[in-house]
Chain A
Amino acid sequence: MSGKLILRQLLRQGIVAQRMPMFKRFESATTASGATNFNKDTLKQLVNTNKVVIFMKGNPEAPKCGFSNAVVQILRMHGVQYDAHDVLQSDELRQSIKEFSDWPTIPQVYINGEFVGGCDILLQMHQSGDLIEELKKVGIESILLKEADNKDNTKAD
Chain B
Amino acid sequence: MSKYTSKYLEEKLADKLGAQYVNAIDESDGCGGKFSVTIVSEAFRGKTLLQKHRLVNSALAEELKEIHAFSQKSYTPEEWEKEELESAGFGVQATTAGGEGLRIKTLED
Chains A and B belong together in one complex = yes
B28 interface residue per 8 A CB criterion: no
Other-chain contact of A120, B61, B73, B92 (Cβ < 8 Å): B73
| A66 nearest CB across to chain B (Å) | 8
Known: A67-B69, A120-B73. A104 touches B49 (CB 8 A): no
Chain A residues with Cβ below 8 Å from B53 are 117-118, 120-121
Other-chain contact of B57, A67, A103, A124, A125 (Cβ < 8 Å): A103
Interface size on A, residues (CB 8 A): 16
Interface residues of B in 31-62 (CB under 8 A from A): 49-50, 53-54, 57, 61
B70 interface residue per 8 A CB criterion: yes
Chain B residues with Cβ below 8 Å from A115 are 50
Known: A5-B92, A104-B64. A120 touches B54 (CB 8 A): no
| A101 nearest CB across to chain B (Å) | 10
Please determine whether A104 and B71 come into contact, CB atoms closer than 8 angstroms: no
Please determine whether B71 and A124 come into contact, CB atoms closer than 8 angstroms: no
A116 interface residue per 8 A CB criterion: yes
Chain B residues with Cβ below 8 Å from A102 are 54
A48 interface residue per 8 A CB criterion: no
B23 interface residue per 8 A CB criterion: no
Known: A103-B57, A104-B64, A104-B65. A120 touches B72 (CB 8 A): yes
Q: CB-CB contacts of A98-117 with B at 8 A, as 1s and 0s?
A: 00001111000000000111
Chain A residues with Cβ below 8 Å from B71 are 67, 119-120
Please determine whether B50 and A117 come into contact, CB atoms closer than 8 angstroms: yes
Please determine whether B73 and A104 come into contact, CB atoms closer than 8 angstroms: no
Which 7 A-B pairs have CB atoms at the shortest separation, nearest pair first? A104-B64, A117-B50, A121-B49, A120-B71, A104-B57, A120-B72, A121-B53
21 pairs, CB–CB < 8 Å, chain A vs chain B: A5-B92, A67-B69, A67-B71, A102-B54, A104-B57, A104-B61, A104-B64, A104-B65, A104-B70, A105-B69, A105-B70, A115-B50, A116-B50, A117-B50, A118-B53, A119-B71, A120-B53, A120-B71, A120-B73, A121-B49, A124-B73
